[in-house]
Chain A
Amino acid sequence: MQAAIENENEMLLQVDDLKVDYQMEGAVGRAVDGVSFALRKGECIGLVGESGSGKSTIAKAILKLLPSNGALAGGRVILKGRDISHFTEEEMDAIRWAEISLVPQSAMNALNPVQRISSQMVETFLAHQAKADSRKTLLDKCQQLFEMVGLSRNRIFDYPHQFSGGMRQRATIAMAIALEPSVVIADEPTTALDVIMQAQIINLLKSLSEDKGVSIILITHDISIVAQICQRVGVMYAGRLVESGDILKVFNNPFHPYTMGLKAAFPTIKELKKTLISIPGSPPLLTKRLEGCCFSDRCPFSIEQCQRVIPHTVTIREDHYVACHRIEYAERFRKEIIDIFGTRVRGQS
């Protein structure tokens, strides 16, 4: 959270104490509960967490695309010094695509199935750019974008169904960067894809961030994808940011038991005999009002205080923030969590 108070000038996007509520059959569920992070220029930040942790809701809240039963319950979203969290629909129209764009999980939903991709892209340009470039120059621009994301120029005249899943995702990325936005939010961009397509898209996002200087917020459940692209990371659980900061610091020396668990739960191809862990239980219901730490029900190290008091986010060192009552024991926990939750997936051999 302290990240938000750093040098304001180089901050592109700041999310400050964001809260989002959902109306759910009479009850109110808090999907995002006081999340703060900041995105610097040219940086790629990853938001990781499991389903229902609120990571996609953050994306929707930033773009003001929340469903009708969801609403911003507090906090600010500051884009280049302007608080856009209370912008009107018209003001947001000017910001979406042009300033912040979205690469959704399902590319098929983002593309109109009965329109050629060329005309969809040209429309996007026309909707945002007042100066009337001729259609031909716009089309040329679109074709350049297509080449940039690794698609051939002529395929732009195809319909979405003529593309494979990976190509569609490339096309949506091309559309997302068309207006040269300052921020691209990629919401689970590879979940629907196979390994090889996933690797292609990861490489594409990486080159956009490194070579073209696009700032990316990558939302995913897969920490190995974050490891490939991001410089900084936020680990989310039950709507709260439990640990965040520099990716090396967070994952090489995690201080929150959930981060430790997440890291140890992933199999890795480099180390087949790694003991995987599995954390029993499931995240608390959204509608449940949490008195203490959101992870306390599943945490093996939870003490009475964890059930009762919401932990503050503290700075462990430069660019490493954790919300846990028992950070002083982190070293011990890292070893013990594997003994407690380790499974024998890979025999004892």
Chain B
Amino acid sequence: MIEVKDLQKSFAVKETFFSAFTSLLKKKEKRIRAVNGISFSIHAGEIMGVAGESGCGKTTTAMLLLGLYRPSGGKVLFEGMDISSLKGTELRYFRRKAQLIFQDPYESLNPRFTVYRTIEEPLIVNRLRRKSERREKIMKAMEKAKLMPLEAFCDKYPHELSGGERQRVCIARAIVLEPVLLIADEATSMLDVSIRAGILEIIKELTEEMKMATLYISHDMSLLGSICDKIGIMYAGEIVEIGRSEDIIQSPLHPYTRALIEAVPVPEFRRAKLKLKAIAGEPPDLVNLPRGCSFRLRCERAIKACRTSRPKLFEVKQGHFVACHQVGD
């Protein structure tokens, strides 16, 4: 349903007085390579998870998928159309069909709009003129997002709602246009633990019911493992491993995937505490990416080949891809 092919995005580095001076001497523009040639596809009714540290390009990928950034290379295919070439009615159609749920449910709601008005806005923007028709759609969306009882919520302002309720308003706003692509960017990380599962359940149910292709972005592997059908691991703007979530969590192949999983604290209670495995170092500078594998500086098992050539994704088994020189040979 949605397909990403060799997608790239780089940003020009903001020039300060001094850096402008030095770049004059070097005559080379500095660019942050946020997303560096990634490919994947999400089918209808499927949730794909994207994991990685902050700055790995997760959110940039989301913005590219929504058409809010123009890709520097590669393309995003939506129902077979390249979204960066869309214009007029086609663009309008795409905008309606690709929606987003944010991390912070308070910041993502207009404080001056009531719940009803918030969910109505996308319909007005997309020229649904008849009031009764709008009302019907809003009620249906609120029901799906479990904002019950409907009447109690309609006239409330965001500051009168709890975090979980706000996030359900965001979900209702996102699904009122019956999207085909839904992106959830850390949608539960700011919510209290006791209500997180409820929000995840709604996202899961709606994905199946409305046959959406959902992209769930998070750095929490245990969360991704529990809701996603497949998971892609991103490091320094590249996908280093991608596959069915059971495969990724239970038999990770890339050393970085392993590091991400081993770093997750487990709620198991014992007297003698085990030390968590935490790899040292930090993600590389996206302006000057190291040659070869971008993970090699933090990798315990780096060999000579890792320094010279950049590993490509290859299929280890059905639907499980990894980009590492150490795997498979």
Chain A in direct contact with chain B (Cβ < 8 angstroms): yes
Q: Which of A10-18, A98-106, A278-286 contacts B (4 or more CB under 8 A)?
A: A278-286
Whole-angstrom distance between the Cβ of B39 and the nearest chain A Cβ: 24
Q: Which of A70-78, A264-272, A320-328 contacts B (4 or more CB under 8 A)?
A: A264-272
Q: Does A133 contact B (CB under 8 A)?
A: no
| Alpha-carbon gap, A197 to B263, bound state (A) | 9
B193–A265 contact, CB under 8 A? yes
Which of A194, A229, A252, A343 is B200 in contact with, Cβ under 8 Å? A343
| Residues on B with beta carbons closer than 8 Å to the beta carbon of A270 | 266, 268
A247–B269 contact, CB under 8 A? yes
| Alpha-carbon gap, A333 to B274, bound state (A) | 30
Whole-angstrom distance between the Cβ of A286 and the nearest chain B Cβ: 13
Which of B192, B225, B267 is A50 in contact with, Cβ under 8 Å? B192
Q: Does B43 contact A (CB under 8 A)?
A: no
Q: Does B3 contact A (CB under 8 A)?
A: no
The bracket for how many chain B residues form the interface is 35 or more
Q: Does A317 contact B (CB under 8 A)?
A: no
A224–B195 contact, CB under 8 A? no
| Alpha-carbon gap, A130 to B268, bound state (A) | 46
Q: Which of B227-265 contact A (CB under 8 A)?
A: 227, 245-246, 249, 259-265
Q: Does A116 contact B (CB under 8 A)?
A: no
| Alpha-carbon gap, A173 to B267, bound state (A) | 24
B263–A274 contact, CB under 8 A? no
Q: Which of A48-102 contact B (CB under 8 A)?
A: 50-51
| Residues on A with beta carbons closer than 8 Å to the beta carbon of B277 | 199
A343–B197 contact, CB under 8 A? yes
Known: A269-B249, A280-B198. A203 touches B267 (CB 8 A): no
B263–A279 contact, CB under 8 A? no
Q: Does B41 contact A (CB under 8 A)?
A: no
Q: What count of chain A residues pass the 8 Å CB interface test?
A: 52
| Residues on A with beta carbons closer than 8 Å to the beta carbon of B269 | 227, 247-248, 251-252
Q: Which of B178-193 contact A (CB under 8 A)?
A: 192-193
Which among B197, B205, B278 has the greatest number of chain A C-beta atoms within 10 A?
Answer: B197
A199–B267 contact, CB under 8 A? no
B197–A277 contact, CB under 8 A? yes
| Residues on B with beta carbons closer than 8 Å to the beta carbon of A274 | 226
| Alpha-carbon gap, A272 to B250, bound state (A) | 10
Residue of A whose beta carbon sits closest to that of B164: A282
A199–B276 contact, CB under 8 A? yes
Whole-angstrom distance between the Cβ of A135 and the nearest chain B Cβ: 31
B267–A263 contact, CB under 8 A? yes
A272–B226 contact, CB under 8 A? yes
Known: A203-B278, A279-B194. A196 touches B271 (CB 8 A): no
| Alpha-carbon gap, A263 to B287, bound state (A) | 42
Which of B198, B260, B268, B280 is A195 in contact with, Cβ under 8 Å? B260
Q: Which of B81-89, B117-125, B216-224 contacts A (4 or more CB under 8 A)?
A: B216-224
Whole-angstrom distance between the Cβ of B105 and the nearest chain A Cβ: 13
Which among B227, B268, B276 has the greatest number of chain A C-beta atoms within 10 A?
Answer: B276
Whole-angstrom distance between the Cβ of A236 and the nearest chain B Cβ: 12
Known: A252-B269, A278-B198. A50 touches B246 (CB 8 A): no
Which of B196, B246, B263, B282 is A272 in contact with, Cβ under 8 Å? B246
| Alpha-carbon gap, A266 to B268, bound state (A) | 11
A166–B282 contact, CB under 8 A? yes
Q: Does A200 contact B (CB under 8 A)?
A: yes
B204–A278 contact, CB under 8 A? no
Q: Which of A236-274 contact B (CB under 8 A)?
A: 247-248, 251-252, 258, 261-263, 265-270, 272, 274
Known: A223-B267, A343-B200. A196 touches B194 (CB 8 A): no
Q: Does A345 contact B (CB under 8 A)?
A: yes
| Alpha-carbon gap, A270 to B261, bound state (A) | 10
A196–B278 contact, CB under 8 A? yes
Known: A166-B282, A196-B260, A346-B227. A225 touches B194 (CB 8 A): no
| Alpha-carbon gap, A274 to B227, bound state (A) | 11
| Alpha-carbon gap, A196 to B279, bound state (A) | 7
A272–B204 contact, CB under 8 A? no
B227–A345 contact, CB under 8 A? yes
| Alpha-carbon gap, A202 to B276, bound state (A) | 8
Which of B54, B220, B260, B265 is A225 in contact with, Cβ under 8 Å? B265
A269–B275 contact, CB under 8 A? no
| Alpha-carbon gap, A166 to B281, bound state (A) | 10
A343–B192 contact, CB under 8 A? no
Residue of B whose beta carbon sits closest to that of A279: B194
Known: A277-B197, A278-B197. A195 touches B220 (CB 8 A): yes
Which of A194, A199, A202, A346 is B54 in contact with, Cβ under 8 Å? A194
| Residues on B with beta carbons closer than 8 Å to the beta carbon of A268 | 222, 266-268
Known: A206-B273, A279-B195, A345-B204. A267 touches B222 (CB 8 A): yes
| Alpha-carbon gap, A224 to B265, bound state (A) | 5
Whole-angstrom distance between the Cβ of A166 and the nearest chain B Cβ: 7
A344–B204 contact, CB under 8 A? yes
Which of B199, B225, B273, B282 is A229 in contact with, Cβ under 8 Å? B273
Q: Could you jot down 12 A-B contacts, CB within 8 Å?
A: A198-B265, A199-B277, A224-B267, A227-B267, A228-B273, A266-B267, A269-B221, A269-B261, A272-B245, A276-B200, A279-B194, A282-B162
User: Could you list which residues of chain A lie within 8 angstroms of chain B, going by C-beta atoms?
Assistant: 50-51, 164-167, 194-200, 202-203, 206, 210, 221-225, 227-229, 247-248, 251-252, 258, 261-263, 265-270, 272, 274, 276-280, 282, 343-347
User: Could you list which residues of chain B lie within 8 angstroms of chain A, going by C-beta atoms?
Assistant: 53-54, 162-165, 192-201, 204-205, 219-223, 225-227, 245-246, 249, 259-271, 273-280, 282
**Given pairs A196-B259, A198-B265, A266-B222, 18 additional interface contacts (CB within 8 A):** A164-B282, A195-B53, A195-B221, A200-B278, A223-B193, A227-B269, A251-B267, A262-B193, A262-B194, A265-B193, A265-B194, A267-B220, A276-B200, A276-B226, A282-B164, A282-B192, A343-B200, A343-B201
In the A-B complex, list the 9 residue pairs whose CB atoms are closest, starting with the nearest.
Answer: A278-B198, A199-B278, A199-B263, A276-B197, A282-B162, A343-B201, A278-B197, A50-B192, A224-B267
